[in-house]
């Protein structure tokens, strides 16, 4: 059974006049145990909203419009606040996009990590909590963890704070770890260490990794979902999608990766920007920026087409329906 499965999940935001503008449109994806799924796409595509939906931590004004998010077979969207509270931070944990703001500056690091444990295991003795915290810090490669637990966040470097966040997210041995841009703020050597730690985590659970960085996906993930303006425009195995990208947006993202072999060639960029949610339109949401756009692309949303068992795409061109009628 999948650790987490989105089935036709849709959500949007309430507008001033009470109507709801859809952002995430019928998103389907799943993560198997011991595997990692990468979610990629430009800023504003709905990656964080998809992850926050799992934690049931959507911001004010967000509205769930349909579908299911199954965790161990149960729909998270239907659970009571009490039930989801028992899962959040325990069986499903998250490393947030801004690690600096997620730690409390006036509390000792050891106390903060221990709190995640105490909250879900109120019967644990103090010495047991302390031992577990030291072990967790040790696992993420913090030297002298016994002394470090008494220090405050400002006494840690940026990379170490991110490792503290990971220790906190892993201490309850979650079945699912969601990491939203886990390495973006870090320099490359620290990035590599964090990726190693995350790789080890896959031995015990499933993982969702939200990132702008296709290199991180290649390193860490078996599956990938390419999101554009709330739609999963292409998804499947990393192998299939990196080798044979079919959606023009995925092709564009790939072309925008710098390579060492041709450093002087200017990088290709995708012209334009992600539209605001009120301007998504009825057709393919990428149509305005797509160099292969045909008339059907502007008037009808492309269905999901399975190219093979490892590769799904939402594109009229890729499914063969666009006929050069632009």
Residues lying near ligand ATP in the complex (CB under 6 A): 13, 23, 41, 43-49, 59, 61, 97, 276-277
Nearer to ligand ATP, 98 or 128 (CB): 98
Q: How near is the Cβ of 177 to ligand ATP at its closest, in Å?
A: 17
Looking only at the bridges linking them, the beta strands covering 74-75 and 305-308 are unpaired
Tokens encoding 73: 């077979």
Which one of ligand ATP, Mg ion, none is in contact with 245 (Cβ closer than 5 to 8 A by kind)? none
Alpha-carbon torsion, ordered 95, 173, 126, 144, to 10 deg: -70
Looking only at the bridges linking them, the beta strands covering 36-40 and 206-210 are parallel
Nearer to ligand ATP, 61 or 158 (CB): 61
Which one of Mg ion, ligand ATP, none is in contact with 65 (Cβ closer than 5 to 8 A by kind)? none
**Listed ranges 16-24, 44-52, 56-64, 78-86: which one lies at the site for Mg ion (CB under 5 A):** 44-52
Q: How near is the Cβ of 259 to ligand ATP at its closest, in Å?
A: 23
The 3-state DSSP class for residue 60 equals coil
Q: How near is the Cβ of 247 to ligand ATP at its closest, in Å?
A: 17
Tokens encoding 57: 């931590």
Query: How many residues belong to the site for Mg ion (CB under 5 A)?
Result: 1
Alpha-carbon gap, residue 141 to 129, rounded angstroms:
19
**Listed ranges 46-54, 98-106, 123-131, 315-323: which one lies at the site for Mg ion (CB under 5 A):** 46-54
Rule CB under 5 A: say whether 48 interacts with Mg ion: yes
Write the CB contacts of 28 (distance below 8 Å, at least 6 apart in sequence): 5, 6, 7, 8, 9, 232, 304
Q: How near is the Cβ of 40 to ligand ATP at its closest, in Å?
A: 9
DSSP secondary structure string for all residues of 198-228: HHHHTTTSEEEEE-S-HHHHHHH-SEEEEEE
Nearer to ligand ATP, 68 or 97 (CB): 97
Name the site residues for Mg ion (rule: CB under 5 A): 48
């Amino acid at each position: 059974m999948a650790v987490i499965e989105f089935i036709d999940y849709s959500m949007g935001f309430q507008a001033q006049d009470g109507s709801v503008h859809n952002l995430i449109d019928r998103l389907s994806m799943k993560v198997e145990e011991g595997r990692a799924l990468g979610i990629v796409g430009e800023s504003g595509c709905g990656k964080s909203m998809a992850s926050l939906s799992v934690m049931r931590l959507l911001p004010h004004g967000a509205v769930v419009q349909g579908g299911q998010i199954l965790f161990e077979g149960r729909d998270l969207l239907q659970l009571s606040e009490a039930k989801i509270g028992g899962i959040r931070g325990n069986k499903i944990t998250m490393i947030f996009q801004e690690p600096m703001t997620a730690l409390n500056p006036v509390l000792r690091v050891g106390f903060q990590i221990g709190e995640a444990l105490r909250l879900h295991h109120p019967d644990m003795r103090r010495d047991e909590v302390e031992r577990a915290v030291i072990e967790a810090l040790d696992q993420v490669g913090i030297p002298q963890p016994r002394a470090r637990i008494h220090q405050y966040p400002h006494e840690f470097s940026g990379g170490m704070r991110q490792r503290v966040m990971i220790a906190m997210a892993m201490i309850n041995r979650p079945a699912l770890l969601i990491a939203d841009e886990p390495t973006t703020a870090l320099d490359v050597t620290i990035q590599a260490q964090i990726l190693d730690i995350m790789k080890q985590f896959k031995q015990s659970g499933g993982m969702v990794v939200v990132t702008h960085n296709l290199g991180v996906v290649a390193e860490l993930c078996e599956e990938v979902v390419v999101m554009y303006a709330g739609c999963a425009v292409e998804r499947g195995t990393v192998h299939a999608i990196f080798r044979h990208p079919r959606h023009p947006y995925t092709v564009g993202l790939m072309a925008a990766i710098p390579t060492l072999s041709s450093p002087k060639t200017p990088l290709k960029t995708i012209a334009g920007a992600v539209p605001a949610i009120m301007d998504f339109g009825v057709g393919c949401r990428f149509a305005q920026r797509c160099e292969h756009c045909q008339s059907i692309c502007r008037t009808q949303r492309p269905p999901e087409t399975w190219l093979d068992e490892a590769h799904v795409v939402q594109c009229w061109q890729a499914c063969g329906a666009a006929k050069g009628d632009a």
